[in-house]
Amino acid sequence: MNYFYSITKDRKIETKIKRSIFIAHLHYAQTMKEAKEFISQVSAEHKTATHNCWAYIAGEKGEIFHSSDAGEPSGTAGKPILNTLKKYNMTNIVAVVTRYFGGVKLGIRGLIEAYSDCVENAVKNAYLKKVVKLSIFEISTSYDFIEKLKHMIRDFGVEIGKIEYSEKVKIVISVEKNQSQELEDYFYELQKSGKIKIL
């Protein structure tokens, strides 16, 4: 299965290339509106910059995307930024690269490389998180079965969330949606035999 990736925290990486300062800003954005708000915010913070070029990708499968050269020669900034994000299978992400011109022209090839490298440095700066749809199960079981249940479901690649101990034990379990059917069938078997109750 092809996974998509994003970030958990904002990233900001500064790179100096032939006296120009490039600052890559990465931000998690689930919608076009959130992406545009971040672009406006960075542009306002760096209003004295020569350029604030950007690209964003959103949607479950990265199907919504847009980019802008923001005054740089056509195809030298926005597209390289976007292509770098796509290279790492990213979605729900916005990248803004701020450039302070240092007096030395980089040329078309140089600009493309500068914007690509700058974003790539920010992407590779820390681990990316997998963007997945989860199925959540809430289960009630007895005190004497809970440890056995936790052991039995480990092979399904589940994540065990909240556990609440009262009259019965309540447990919240999440699993990637593409792996949830098998687990759901297993839970129904356990419920039929009276070992658990699906809430």
pTM above 0.75, yes or no: no
How far apart, in whole angstroms, are the C-alpha atoms of residue 59 and residue 47? Answer: 29
pLDDT the model gives residue 38: 95
Examine the pLDDT at 23 and tell me if it is beyond 70.
yes
What is the domain partition of the chain in residue ranges?
A: 4-130, 133-198
CB contact at 8 A, 137 and 185: no
pLDDT (tens digit, 9 = 90+) per residue, 143-160? 988 888 888 887 777 888
DSSP code for 154:
G
pLDDT (tens digit, 9 = 90+) per residue, 48-85? 999 999 999 998 888 999 999 998 999 999 999 999 99
**Highest CATH level, class, for 4-130:** alpha beta
CATH architecture of 133-198: 2-Layer Sandwich (3.30)
